[in-house]
Structure 1
Amino acid sequence: MDSIPANRRFWNRISSAYQHEHDPQIGATPRLWGMYSIPDAHLHALGDITGKRVLELGCGAGQWFRELAAEGAAVVGLDLSEAQLAAAAGAMGANRYPLVQGAAEQLPFAANSFDLVFCDFGGLSWAPPHVAVPQAARVLSQGGRLVFNVASPWSESCYDVAASHVTTTLQQDYFGLSAIAEDGGATSYQLSYGGWVRILRGAGLIIDDLIEPRPDLGTFNGYNETDTPDWAHRWPAELLWVTHKP
């Protein structure tokens, strides 16, 4: 819970620059996952959402949820940052969807409120998973799904802090992955494979799939310059978890 104020300040501070740089990529075409913009049509993570009640954890400027609303979902966008929510509201045009300021650690919704909770490097990257995952499970209806994309522990274990990029050799301990200090006192979170499995199962969720999005050779990483060329083609940079509440 202690990371909430600093994370809010961090995203309020960088929101304008972040959207200016990344909106063209995030919103280029519908349903693009992760740093390499891999289409959901190739990964088959979300499926048909027509008529579903959908919550996005960390909606940013709403590029994802606007598309899902256009496909017939009843969407709610949640974000910790009022600046990000302002960007989402400004991008809606004539369409209006519910926007809620809140933290993934403290979801302001009743139990059984949604058929799908999802995020793409959103709330489950910026909230303690042992708190946020049970919250997501709580607001899911029976049979509802939690689908989310986060960084792979490989990317953190191979990250050379001094050089500021990932390498082809292990640099940091795999065991003990947890909180990662970001600028301005903000905190992101990283878990091992086993850590994610234990938290998901502990929240009563069934793991249906673990997709490791693999970009084609030469695919551009549109979010940072930490990856050496084609690193993510050789090793998993991201984990796309597909789960449901029985």
Structure 2
Amino acid sequence: MDSIPANRRLWNQISSAYQHEHDPQIGATPRLWGMYSIPDAHLHALGDVTGKRVLELGCGAGQWSRALAAEGATVVGLDLSEAQLAAAARAMGAARYPLVQGAAEQLPFAADSFDLVFCDFGGLSWAPPHLAVPQAARVLGRGGRLVFNVASPWFEVCYDEAASRVTTTLQQDYFGLNTIAEDDGATSYQLTYGDWVKVLRGAGLIIDDLIEPRPELGTPNGYNETDPPDWAHRWPAELLWVTHKP
């Protein structure tokens, strides 16, 4: 299915409110992963990016891209939404980098363009993985890495739509994970563990690590209600995949 038009409309509509709510946290400190803002210094997913050619899939207001550009990476920020890209341009500051409008499943870059492609709940949550992962692999050079953070299948199957919160009860079939209906006809995507492995290996990538970020007790979730509040300390809420192209 072509989810690009509806996803673009949704993010254009919600960009201002999203950045108003979340930028004070994710823009305050560089390299924070996911719903619980866990520092990359604790997870060691990206490592040193100095001198690397880096593509962020779904850069939003560019909080990650600004930080990596300031560290000496040659960064390109890609996003489907012109409103999100406008927010990134306004916040760019001294660490300037190119911004490109495009979709993760249709990357407008040549092969061997990047040393690192990454996203944190960006393009690989909002594009069909069986299309977007091969695109990411195509634009990576040999030895280049694809690193991305997405919601865990545990999180999705325990999400109670009626209550708008994550619970300790299974709410939907694990093997039914694929597309998730969002507001205004938009679509996000989720795979089982096995399907993620198939998609990554099918794109010719080597899986180096699967990090399941575990927040400390009392760490708030900045995006979702959970019951109990420390849900993600007990079960994995996110998957942080670290892969490379041989």
Q: Is the TM value for this pair above 0.5?
A: yes
**Pairing of 1:129-208 with structure 2 (within 5 A):** 129-208=129-208
Q: Secondary structure at 1:118's aligned position in 2? A: strand
Q: Is 1:70 aligned with 2:70? A: yes
* Contact 1:112/1:141 (8 A) holds in 2: yes
Distance 1:66 1:177, change over 3 A: same
**Deviation (angstroms), 1:162:** 1.6
Matches of 2:164 and 2:99 in 1, distance apart? 35
Q: Which amino acid aligns with 1:66?
A: R
Matches of 1:81 and 1:118 in 2, distance apart? 18
Give the corresponding residue for 1:52: 52
**Deviation (angstroms), 1:205:** 0.1
Q: Which amino acid aligns with 2:44?
A: H
**Deviation (angstroms), 1:155:** 0.5
Give the corresponding residue for 2:12: 12
Give the corresponding residue for 1:39: 39
Structure 2: tracts of 5 or more residues without a match: none
Give the corresponding residue for 2:102: 102
Q: Is 1:88 aligned with 2:81? A: no
**Deviation (angstroms), 1:176:** 2.3
Give CA-to-partner distance per residue, 1:98-118, whole Å, 9 cap, x none: 000000010000000000000
Percent identity reads 89
* Contact 1:165/1:228 (8 A) holds in 2: no
Q: Secondary structure at 1:119's aligned position in 2? A: strand
Q: Secondary structure at 2:59's aligned position in 1? A: coil
Matches of 1:226 and 1:121 in 2, distance apart? 18
* Contact 2:66/2:96 (8 A) holds in 1: no
TM-score, structure 2 normalization: 0.98
Structure 1: tracts of 5 or more residues without a match: none
Give the corresponding residue for 2:220: 220
Q: Which amino acid aligns with 1:134?
A: P
Give CA-to-partner distance per residue, 1:75-117, whole Å, 9 cap, x none: 0000000000000000013442100000001000000000000
Give the corresponding residue for 2:23: 23
Matches of 2:62 and 2:149 in 1, distance apart? 16
Give CA-to-partner distance per residue, 1:151-172, whole Å, 9 cap, x none: 0000111111221111112111
The alignment of Structure 1 onto Structure 2 pairs a total of residues equal to: 246
TM-score, structure 1 normalization: 0.98
Give the corresponding residue for 1:238: 238
Give CA-to-partner distance per residue, 1:100-155, whole Å, 9 cap, x none: 00000100000000000000000000000000000000000000000000000001
**Deviation (angstroms), 1:28:** 1.8
Matches of 2:9 and 2:117 in 1, distance apart? 24
Matches of 2:94 and 2:58 in 1, distance apart? 22
Give the corresponding residue for 1:123: 123
Matches of 2:161 and 2:62 in 1, distance apart? 32
Matches of 1:19 and 1:81 in 2, distance apart? 13
